[in-house]
Structure 1
Amino acid sequence: MPKSIHSTQPPLKFISPRFNPLVLKIVSWFLPLILRVRTRPWLPAGIVKIEAKNAEILAKLYQEFQAGKVRFLIAFRHPEVEDPLSMLYLLSRIVPKVARAKGISLQYPVHSHFMYERGMTLWAGNWLGWLFSYVGGVPVRRGRRVDRNAIQMARDLFANAKMPIAIAPEGGTNGHSGIVSPLEPGVAQLSFWCVEDLQKANREETVFIIPIGIKYSYVNPPWSKIDWLLSKLEADSGLQVAEITQTGKQEEILYQRIFHIAGYLITEMEEFYRRFYHRDLPAITPEETDQPNDILITRLHRLMDTALQVCEQYFNVQPQGNFIDRCRRLEEAGWNYIYRDDITDINSLPPFKRGLADWVAEEADLKMQHMRIAESFVAVTANYIQEKPTAERFAETALLMFDMLSRIKESTLPGRPRLGLKQAMITVGEPISVSERWQLCQGNKQASRKGLSDLTNDLQVVLEELIKD
């Protein structure tokens, strides 16, 4: 995440893809090292092992793609920021290896264009935009009602490029390997458009969506590191650790601590919005049948709604859709205040107008922090840990709380603590034929809308199945 913004910024220009096979080859050479060290080269952390199930499905499809028989889109799960690296490893190493073992002939490169969120270059740096451009990336501004540059480029690449295209249909990370966030409709719409574009060009390729699940686990459960992280959260929160009963199994104790920290943070944030933003957040009186977890989640969702309302009222944005939809629109509204398309040359502004522009940008950046806090918890559920009290789920929940505290107490968001060595399991699902579905829903707009909705819902179900143990 970038440092706090104190001045207006130039507009976020579209970064056109300029695929360069040499750059891809160099990145692929260094990929195992990048996966291992990433942002913390001095810590024993990173991804040290990646395996795949059903990779021969992709190998066969790449062969048919290169023969001009099919077009396909890779729809992959997006739980963590490491996912693009995991996908690159799948395509550059695992799929070619499986193809050789199965006698499937493939041409280099086995790669894909991909869409990435334009804001990534804001916290990572402009170098990332350059790199993504040369390895086939297409930037998209998620909150825009229509990002024409991104849509037109993705549509053209899907139908005409020498490589398929990959998209995360969730639109962003949710920090949960075991939960798929609601899918955005863009994957289904692009797929239908591809069929239409091929039909208009009198081309006979069949269009598919290839669902891919990604799930991470620790090589060795980092219970001691989780304990350390919870102690840090307790200390940063000002909690009296002695209040927690240190009896029972390890998982029970850790869960009790997480529950205690979460309850404390929610209480403090409720009081923050009551006192300084004059919000009416009455105490919730539980029914006899209410479970403590459900009450906590009810309070969390009310708190998220309150934070988003504060942000929406400032930017004059109507609250529509689920939490994710609201966060996307607020992000775009904030960027419009900071990255000014309406200012031709910032440096040519007279001091008075420049001061006003800087004031607007700084205040917008502060207001967006309300949205960022809500954004961190969009996938949190009442029983995520209790359903499967694994080290991974404890770690994911604790790290989300770490993100929240970091946003509040730091001007920048520090890198997450790396709790241990991780491994990834990538599962390739059965191809979904879009061409067949497109044929069935032709005739009127209602049928087309239903077809898009059904395809999105079916893809959601498939992705959820792919990450089940």
Structure 2
Amino acid sequence: MPSLPIQTAQPPLRFIPPAYTPWLRRLAQWSLPLLLRLRRIHRTESHDTERLAALLADQQAGRARLLLAFRHPSTLDPLLMAQLLWCGVPRAARRAGIRLPGTVHSQFLYDRGIPLWAGPLAGWLLSHLGGIPIQRGKLDRLALKTARDLFAHGPFPLAIAPEGATNHHGELLSPLEPGLAQMAFWCCEDLAAEGRTEEQVWIVPVGLRYSLLRPRWQGIDALLVGLEEQLDLARVGGVDTSAAPATGLGDLRYRRLIAIAERLLALLEDFYQEAHGVRPERERPFLERIDRLRHAALAVAEAQFGLLAKGNLQERCRRIEQAGWERIYRADLAGLSPVARSLADWSASEAALRMGHMRLVEHFASLSGSYVAENPSPDRYAEVLQILWRAVAWIQGPGGAPLPDLGPLQACITVGPPIAVSEHFADYQHNRRRAVERLTAALGARLEASIGLAPTAADGTLPPLDEPWA
């Protein structure tokens, strides 16, 4: 496993209250072009932004409450959402003659763990841009109460990534968490309780996609060579590219990709057999093997924390993370004796080590095994190879090789058809669980459509919520 520093027990994590500061937003907006450039986003394009401009005009006029549901393929997504709100929407409003007298901004939920690895300055910046920290894997009542209040009464829309975590795939949607749909119905409840019948609740899907601005197969081939070197494939029967004919390079690249994935999987299977007694079954298909490895890795952490293996991979990861945090960030440290404090540090170190198994699974959570085969484009090769590179670098620890630069990116932002949540509030009052599930499914279909993965009608609309979803 990666080289990890000794983790000591820490005071409990405190809630960082949102403290929106207008001057900081203005400074961030002024800095945005430079930040985009530094993160290698050299071109952005927006589609159907007038939809959001019109709904924001309704919110500023007291006729609507908006929940922005954005895809989360990358850690760059906050920059794209800022580009959409601070630049794209005002331009679209001017083109369409829509008046927006108020500030165009949104408040947002973010993972409470970000300031732990990015530093306290990141927590301060997120707070003063209106961010609400939430601890995933537990019922974070304070965060949910704060978000619910701001959604119903705040001056801005609320932005949430319903996938919950980045999946590093431009054309693959991860399973959506139901919390966003629940938040939308809570807002309907709050508006009804206050007699604000003129205000409608809308979910606005926002599709985000990244692609290489100038895709070059040379960069993809360099990634392949780098991973082959890291995995020492030349000594274990890797694919020889030296005598490859000019034709059939696509098939050769794919065989090299498969060889890399197979070799990494075999190394991890050997590790879990030696360290944890998990017997590999290499006669099984690749997808079954990687799924078995994911479940075995999570089971190691769950056994440490006494957790049941229930739910999907994402839910299991969040419970493991929260259980680890409870052993690292403790409220009882002040009253511990020196020996008890040393044991608490020991427990924290073991928790951090076991959480590493969950982090490993997160690297492979979105790998499907068919993503490149379905469309062997430079972008899909780049996404999968970068996932594998990050996993290898994480295993190697701080000395791992940095991710090679494949060149500048272009980003596409698409505002999808909004969902009128208020029209389905009666269904929620009749059967809450079913209404949340159906709204989550509807949002998933609209997000897939926003990145070109789901069919739409000729007029660009999707089936209404009361029709079955394929």
Pair in the same fold by TM > 0.5: yes
Unaligned runs of 5+ in 2: 454-470
Counterpart in 2 of 1:104? Answer: 98
1:48 to 1:168, Cα distance in 2 relative to 1, 3 A: same
**Which of 237, 244, 255 is the equivalent residue of 2:239?**
244
- CA change 1:2–1:279 in 2 (3 A) is closer
Paired residues, what number? 446
Which residue is equivalent to 2:78?
84
Note the alpha carbon deviations across 1:418-446, whole angstroms, 9 max, x for none. Answer: 32100111110111011011123423xxx
Question: Does residue 119 of structure 2 align to residue 125 of structure 1?
Answer: yes
- Give the equivalent residue in structure 2 for 1:269: 268
Answer whether contact 1:2 1:122 (CA < 8 A) is retained. no
Q: Does 1:323 align with 2:352?
A: no
- How far residue 31 of structure 1 moved from its aligned partner, in angstroms, is 0.6
Residues 71 and 207 of structure 1 are in contact (CA less than 8 Å); yes or no, is this contact kept in structure 2?
yes
| 1:223 CA displacement | 2.2
Larger deviation, residues 98-107 vs 220-229:
220-229
Q: Return the TM-score normalized by structure 1.
A: 0.92
From 146, 151, 168, the counterpart of 2:161: 168
The Cα offsets for residues 319-356 of structure 1, whole Å up to 9 and x where unpaired, read as: 1111111111111111111111333x3xx744322211
**d(CA) in 1 for partners of 2:81 and 2:270?**
43
Residue 308 (1) aligns with residue 295 (2): no
Shift of 1:222: 3.4
- Per the alignment, residue 402 of structure 1 pairs with 389
Give, in angstroms, the shift of residue 256 of structure 1. Answer: 1.4
Report 1:303-382 matches (<5 A): 303-343=293-333, 345=334, 349-382=336-369
Distance 2:238 2:192 in 1: 67
Partners of 1:275 and 1:32 in 2: how far apart? Answer: 50
1:198 aligns with 2:191: yes
What secondary structure, in the 3-state scheme, does the structure 2 residue paired with 1:74 have?
strand
Cα 1:235/1:415, change in 2 over 3 Å: closer
Q: How does 1:34-183 map to 2 (within 5 A)?
A: 34-38=35-39, 46-144=40-138, 146-183=139-176
- In 2, Cα distance between equivalents of 1:435 and 1:397: 40
* Residue of structure 2 aligned with 1:453, choices 402, 412, 437: 437
The more displaced of 197-206 and 415-424 is: 415-424
Matched, 1:467 2:455: no
CA shift for structure 1 position 284: 2.5
How much does 1:362 deviate? 1.2
User: Structure 1, residues 260-293: CA drift from partner, whole Å, max 9, x if none?
Assistant: 01101111111111122112333325xxxxxxxx
CA contact (8 A) 1:369 1:407 kept: no
Q: Aligned AA for 1:393?
A: R
Structure 1 31/359 Cα, relative in aligned 2: closer, same or farther at 3 Å? same
Which stretch has the larger CA shift, 223-232 or 169-178?
A: 223-232
After TM superposition, the structure 1 stretch with the greater mean CA deviation from structure 2, 103-112 or 403-412, is 403-412
C-alpha contact 1:245 1:253 (8 A) present in aligned 2: no
The 2-side partners of 1:228 and 1:152 are apart by 49
Structure 1 counterpart of 2:28, which letter? Answer: V
Alpha-carbon deviations, 1:372-421, whole Å to 9, x = none? 11111111112100111111111111111112112211147776433210
Q: Residues 298 and 364 (structure 1 numbering): CA distance in 2 closer, same or farther, change over 3 Å?
A: same
| Alignment check: 8 A CA contact 2:3 2:397 kept | no
* Whole-Å separation in 2 of the counterparts to 1:5 and 1:163: 42
CA contact (8 A) 1:4 1:365 kept: no
Q: Which amino acid aligns with 2:438?
A: D
Contact 1:376 1:400 in 2 (8 A): yes
Give the 5 Å matches for 1:13-52.
Answer: 13-38=14-39, 46-52=40-46
Choose from 195, 212, 219 the match for 1:225. Answer: 219
Contact preservation (8 Å) 2:282, 2:289: no
Shift of 1:249: 3.4
Report the TM-score, using the length of structure 2 for normalisation: 0.91
Inter-partner Cα distance in structure 2 for 1:442 and 1:414: 54
Give the alignment of 1:280-295 within 5 angstroms.
280-285=279-284, 295=285
Amino acid at match of 1:252: D
Asked whether the equivalents of residues 4 and 412 of structure 1 are also in contact (C-alpha less than 8 Å), the reply is no
- CA drift at 1:122: 1.4
Give deviations 1:68-105, integer Å, cap 9, x for gaps.
00001000000000001100010000110111111111
Give SS of 2:429's match. Answer: coil
> What RMSD in Å do the two structures reach over aligned CA positions?
1.8
C-alpha separation between the residues in 1 aligned to 2:12 and 2:374?
A: 45
Distance apart, 1:243 and its partner CA: 3.2
Q: Please give the alpha-carbon distance, in whole angstroms, between the structure 2 residues aligned to 1:3 and 1:122.
A: 15
User: What 5-or-longer segments of structure 1 have no aligned partner?
Assistant: 39-45, 286-294
Q: CA deviation at 1:451?
A: 0.7
Indicate whether 1:298 and 2:288 are aligned. yes
Per the TM alignment, residue 250 of structure 1 is displaced from its structure 2 partner at its CA by 3.4
Residues 415/117 of structure 1: CA separation in 2 closer, same or farther (3 Å cut): farther
The separation in 1 between residues aligned to 2:409 and 2:249, in whole angstroms, is 21
State whether residues 64 and 201 of structure 2, in contact with CA within 8 Å, keep that contact through their aligned partners in structure 1.
yes
Equivalents in 2 of 1:378, 1:101: separation in Å?
Answer: 42
Report how far residue 226 of structure 1 moved. Answer: 2.1
Q: Residue 227 of structure 2 contacts residue 260 of structure 2 at CA under 8 Å; is this kept in 1?
A: yes
Q: Which deviates further from its counterpart, 381-390 or 16-25?
A: 381-390
Secondary structure, counterpart of 2:298 in structure 1: helix
